């Protein structure tokens, strides 16, 4: 409502006429498409194809859209003239190829796709889709969990989407040291057998990734199995980093030395994680807890990204405009 009001009263336009900060804003999308049509996690949809197209048109009109090469140059000390925007997409769902890629290519814009290599070309279901599926099909409407601590979730009262978001948040917490135990308990409580894969392909395949690369897109690692890195030993963290990088470089025949941390919140990577990445040949990594990147203040292993989540066009404009003049912020 606030965004619509700002749009109607001309406040958004006024905001857009203010001088932009010299800053690098990195936007992160996940799935593109209709969130209501999936039996899995609706919360992982960032925009419909139409919304995504309108975002790209808007960004291109207002800002310089950066390429990965330009980001490396900024990391190396190149200065920025105004606000630059880098577009990134995580997880490598098939819709990144069928919906996002044609839109990006039609506008001549590059995006960086971060791929979890174990899922590429498969119908494997990642944990967030498994959790959301069980909740959508749950026989019980009142879910009581005892691990990692006693908690009750009301699917009828609070709504499936809200409960799904809450339970996914709990799952990613450091207190859940045994993710398998959490999933088993949820499976029993929902009285739904846990799916591990589906017959149809959920993720883009390597041929499609190479097609995207030929079309100007760039790639990075999102680890191999998309586990939260801080829940793994240093040895396993190195393995995730090394293995995914080897697969990406072999399949794409190009150097890959950037990574986006799975989940990407502050507790999802540590000094140990950064050491594992440095030891396995990475030169930069991207987080996901918000914030923009001011030249001279950018930490190469904590490059900040803002998540885009199912926003109206008015809100997307207001939010992006606000970030461009303040260099930070969210509402």
Binding residues vs Zn ion (CB under 5 A): 90-91
CB neighbourhood size of 183 (10 A)? 17
Residue number, 91 or 208, with CB nearest to Zn ion: 91
CB-nearest residue to Zn ion: 90
How near is the Cβ of 78 to Zn ion at its closest, in Å?
29
How near is the Cβ of 309 to Zn ion at its closest, in Å?
13
Residues 6+ apart with CB under 8 A from 281: 245, 257
Residue number, 90 or 240, with CB nearest to Zn ion: 90
Strand partners, 166: none
Q: How far apart (Å, rounded) are the C-alpha atoms in residues 284 and 53?
A: 28
* Burial degree of 67 (CB within 10 A; 0-12, 13-18, 19+): middle
Residue number, 136 or 222, with CB nearest to Zn ion: 222
Residue number, 114 or 153, with CB nearest to Zn ion: 114
Cα dist. 293→25, 27, 68, 323 in Å? 6, 11, 14, 11
How near is the Cβ of 197 to Zn ion at its closest, in Å?
18
- In three-state secondary structure terms, 219 is strand
How near is the Cβ of 287 to Zn ion at its closest, in Å?
12
Residue number, 119 or 133, with CB nearest to Zn ion: 119
How near is the Cβ of 117 to Zn ion at its closest, in Å?
12
- 36's tokens: 């209501």
Do residues 229 and 223 touch, judged by C-beta distance below 8 A?
Answer: yes
């Amino acid at each position: 409502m606030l965004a619509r009001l700002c749009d109607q009263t001309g406040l958004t336009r006024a905001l857009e006429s203010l001088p932009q900060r010299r800053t690098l804003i990195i936007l992160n999308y996940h799935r593109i498409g209709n969130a209501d049509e999936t039996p899995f996690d609706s919360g992982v949809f960032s925009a419909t194809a139409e919304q995504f197209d309108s975002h790209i048109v808007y960004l291109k009109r207002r800002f310089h859209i950066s390429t990965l090469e330009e980001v490396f140059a900024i990391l190396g000390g190149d200065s920025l003239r105004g606000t630059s925007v880098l577009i990134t997409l995580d997880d490598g769902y098939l819709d990144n190829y069928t919906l996002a890629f044609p839109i990006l290519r039609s506008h001549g814009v590059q995006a960086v796709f971060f791929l979890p290599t174990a899922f590429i070309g498969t119908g494997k279901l990642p944990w967030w889709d498994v959790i959301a599926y069980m909740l959508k099909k749950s026989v019980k409407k009142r879910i009581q969990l005892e691990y990692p601590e006693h908690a009750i979730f009301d699917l009828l009262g609070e709504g499936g989407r809200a409960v799904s978001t809450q339970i996914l948040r709990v799952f990613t917490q450091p207190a859940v040291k045994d993710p398998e135990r959490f999933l088993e308990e949820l499976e029993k409580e929902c009285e739904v057998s846990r799916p591990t894969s589906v017959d149809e392909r959920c993720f883009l395949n390597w041929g499609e990734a190479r097609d995207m690369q030929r079309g100007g897109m760039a790639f990075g690692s999102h680890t191999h199995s998309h586990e939260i890195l801080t829940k793994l030993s240093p040895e396993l963290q190195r393995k995730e980093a090394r293995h995914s990088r080897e697969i990406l470089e072999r399949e794409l025949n190009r150097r890959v030395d950037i990574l986006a941390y799975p989940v990407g919140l502050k507790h999802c990577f540590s000094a140990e994680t950064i050491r594992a990445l440095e030891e396995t040949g990475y030169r930069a990594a991207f987080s996901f807890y918000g914030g923009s990147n001011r030249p001279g203040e950018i930490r190469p292993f904590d490059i900040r990204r803002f998540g885009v989540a199912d926003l109206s066009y008015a809100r997307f404009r207001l939010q992006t405009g606000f970030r461009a003049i303040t260099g930070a912020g969210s509402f």
